[in-house]
Amino acid sequence: MEIENGNINYKIGSEIGKGVFGRVFKVGMRLKIGDNFTNNREVAMKVIKKASLNDVTCANLRQEVHVLKTVQSPNIISLIDVFEDEDFVYIITEFCNGGDLSRVLDLNNRLTKKKLIQRILVQVIKGLKALHEQGVIHRDVKAPNILLHFPNSKQKDIRF
Ligand SMILES: Nc1ncnc2c1ncn2[C@@H]1O[C@H](COP(=O)(O)OP(=O)(O)O)[C@@H](O)[C@H]1O
Ligand SMILES: [Mg+2]
């Protein structure tokens, strides 16, 4: 399935997560320039059904998007695009190839890889610091909201 937003084409791939109000997909993103497309970039797309939102959750979603637009930090997920149609809101962010931290904890709940967990926590704290500098408190810090990315994608399957 493909979705267009202006000159951007999104090709929907596999489902990579479930959020409270929607599903998250791995998506191939390409810019259309004239009759040509740029190379494919892997991104994540959260699709939220508008009908599932009430006034409060809708305001929270707007706030989350606003924060993502405002805060630029290597430790906070970057917002790439956000758009909507009649039924859905689409939030496009950079793709994290390591999934979220809950998966790592499930793989090894005794945390024998202390070094890895320490490295992750240092980055989480830097991310929270970047938020605090903009006057934002997160209020939902938990393993499923900590996304992991391994720049050398050969490492993406974490094994213990
Ligand atoms: N950019 C991403 N890269 C990889 N996985 C993601 C990404 N965004 C979300 N996910 C997966 O989808 C799950 C739900 O996304 P999340 O943004 O936390 O939704 P919600 O805000 O509704 O809780 C995450 O726990 C994670 O497993
Ligand atoms: Mg979450």
Domain boundaries, the chain: 2-94, 101-159
In the predicted structure, residue 158 carries a pLDDT above the cut 90 = no
Among the ranges given (77-81, 101-105, 128-132), the one the predictor scored with the smallest mean pLDDT: 101-105
Contact 126, 119 (CB under 8 A): no
What residues contact residue 71 under an 8 Å CB cut-off, 6+ apart? Answer: 130, 131, 134, 136
Is any ligand 1 atom within 6 A of the Cβ of residue 93?
Answer: yes
Arithmetic mean of pLDDT, 29-55: 95
DSSP code for 137: -
Q: Ligand 1, residue 17: give the atom nearest the CA.
A: 12
Token pair for 68: 């993502």
Q: Compute the half-sphere exposure of residue 141: CA atoms within 13 Å on the CB side of its CA.
A: 12
In the predicted structure, residue 109 carries a pLDDT above the cut 70 = no
Contact 88, 49 (CB under 8 A): yes
* Cα 144 to middle of ligand 2, angstroms: 6
Residue 57's H or E segment, with its range, is helix 55-70
Contact 106, 158 (CB under 8 A): no
Residue 118's H or E segment, with its range, is helix 114-133
Among candidate residues 120, 116, 129, 118, the one with its CA nearest the CA of residue 73? 129
Is any ligand 1 atom within 6 A of the Cβ of residue 76?
Answer: no
Among the ranges given (55-64, 73-82, 88-97, 111-120), the one the predictor scored with the smallest mean pLDDT: 111-120
Of 100, 146, 149, best ligand 1 pocket probe by most atoms within 8 Å of the beta carbon: 100
What residues contact residue 154 under an 8 Å CB cut-off, 6+ apart? Answer: none
Higher pLDDT, 136 or 160: 136
What residues contact residue 86 under an 8 Å CB cut-off, 6+ apart? Answer: 50
pLDDT at 48: 97
Q: Report the CATH superfamily, name and number, of domain 2-94.
A: Phosphorylase Kinase; domain 1 (3.30.200.20)
Among candidate residues 12, 129, 136, the one with its CA nearest the CA of residue 74? 129
Is any ligand 1 atom within 6 A of the Cβ of residue 13?
Answer: no
pLDDT at 159: 43
pLDDT at 160: 39
Quote the CA–CA distance of 6 and 12 in Å, as a whole number: 16
In the predicted structure, residue 20 carries a pLDDT above the cut 80 = yes
